Structure 1
Amino acid sequence: MPDKDAGTPQKGKYTGTTDIPLLEDGVKQVQASGRLLVGHGRLIDPAKLAHVFISPRQRAKQTFELAFSENDQKELQDAGKVTTTPKLGEWGYGLYEGMVTKEIRALRKEHGLDKESEWDIWRDGCEEGEMPDQVTERLDSLIEEIHGFQKDAMHGEKNADVLLVAHGHSLRAFVKRWLKYPMEFPLSMMLEPGGVGVLSYQHHNLDEPAVLVGIGFPTES
């Protein structure tokens, strides 16, 4: 579930380390998603969660608190199922923090970069910020943690859903690494504020990660 920085005061700007809250529109979108999708018997069922990983930015924490009831938050936290981790932090934009794409590309040209092609964060990274291999390393480490929760639950032996609450670039980067694609792989993705994406495995096999492009919602028993 992304907080998506479109819901922040820095709309259109690269805000990685800047610790800003959601705007009112972002709050409303997350609340709407929570009402529809989060709760017992719903797509994101707290009872089926093995763990929740949250980015350290306040807007990610705010997203979690808006989407879940206070009681569900307390139960998850009391069970030790909530972790705030820098592994899910937004891409470190370095010199580009607070800038828009057009400004970044102009700055890079001033610095003598991108003579053959325009800046692409997935390939080129950020000056004085994170490079693709650095983001890859931290997300791969998180994926290993997630596999630890799910490796013994491939056939429903136990509840093993894992929820990530983070940001636009970090979540899209996570999808690439989940599928074992390099960061520069041209996979076009879109995320809405408060949106929910689902990743899974084919054939109940940890070595066959997949995107669930069609979601079947829970049915009443």
Structure 2
Amino acid sequence: GLRTSEIHAKRPDWQLFRDGCPNGESPQQIGARADCVVNRVRAIKGNVLIFSSGHFLRVLAARWLGLEPGAGKFFMLSTASLSALTYEHELSHPAIQFWNTTRHVSD
């Protein structure tokens, strides 16, 4: 793949969460994958642990809340951070319990 700087050299207005990766998935395709995960998690109705890449998790959080895949740009994630998606009282009210917590990582 290309580095961000290489993509910007060719396309100065490029934005990952709007345009996707060149020769890769579009934000809509990533959103569809995230929707599959959301549906599987909601069907379990219990605690689920998910490990994934940061960009996918950002889209997953957006889709969890019913936002467009591009809204993932608002959910910053640090390396080795922890986040918890939850519900407020019932399955029809998705929420974020905590996001991008790194307290468990020592310097």
Please give the range of the TM-score, normalised by the shorter of the 2 chains: 0.7 to 0.9
Equivalent in 27, 34, 39 of residue 132 of structure 1: 27
* Pair 1:195–1:185, CA change in 2 (3 A): closer
TM-score, normalised relative to structure 1: 0.42
* Pair 1:202–1:187, CA change in 2 (3 A): farther
The alignment status of 1:169 with 2:64, answered yes or no, reads no
Question: Computing the radius of gyration over CA atoms, which structure comes out larger, 1 or 2?
Answer: 1
The alignment status of 1:149 with 2:35, answered yes or no, reads no
Partner of 2:96: 211
Partner of 1:106: 9
TM-superposed CA distance for 1:140, in Å, is 0.3
TM-superposed CA distance for 1:187, in Å, is 4.9
> What is the CA RMSD across the aligned residues, in angstroms?
2.0
TM-superposed CA distance for 1:179, in Å, is 0.7
**Aligned pairs, how many?**
100
More strand by share: 2
Deviations 1:121-141 (A, max 9, x none): 111112221001111111101
Show the 5 A alignment for 1:1-221. 97=1, 99-108=2-11, 118-150=13-45, 160-185=46-71, 187-203=73-89, 205-213=90-98
Question: Counterpart amino acid of 2:3?
Answer: V
* Pair 1:186–1:141, CA change in 2 (3 A): closer
| Larger RCO, structures 1/2 (Cα 8 Å, 6+ apart) | 1
How far apart, CA to CA, are the structure 1 residues paired with 2:32 and 2:97? 24
Q: Which runs of 5+ in 1 are unaligned?
A: 1-96, 110-117, 151-159, 216-221
TM-superposed CA distance for 1:194, in Å, is 2.0
Aligned with 1:199: secondary structure? Answer: strand
How far apart, CA to CA, are the structure 1 residues paired with 2:72 and 2:59? 11
* Pair 1:206–1:136, CA change in 2 (3 A): same
Aligned with 1:198: secondary structure? Answer: strand
Q: Which runs of 5+ in 2 are unaligned?
A: 102-107
Deviations 1:43-85 (A, max 9, x none): xxxxxxxxxxxxxxxxxxxxxxxxxxxxxxxxxxxxxxxxxxx
Q: Percent identity?
A: 33
TM-superposed CA distance for 1:213, in Å, is 3.4
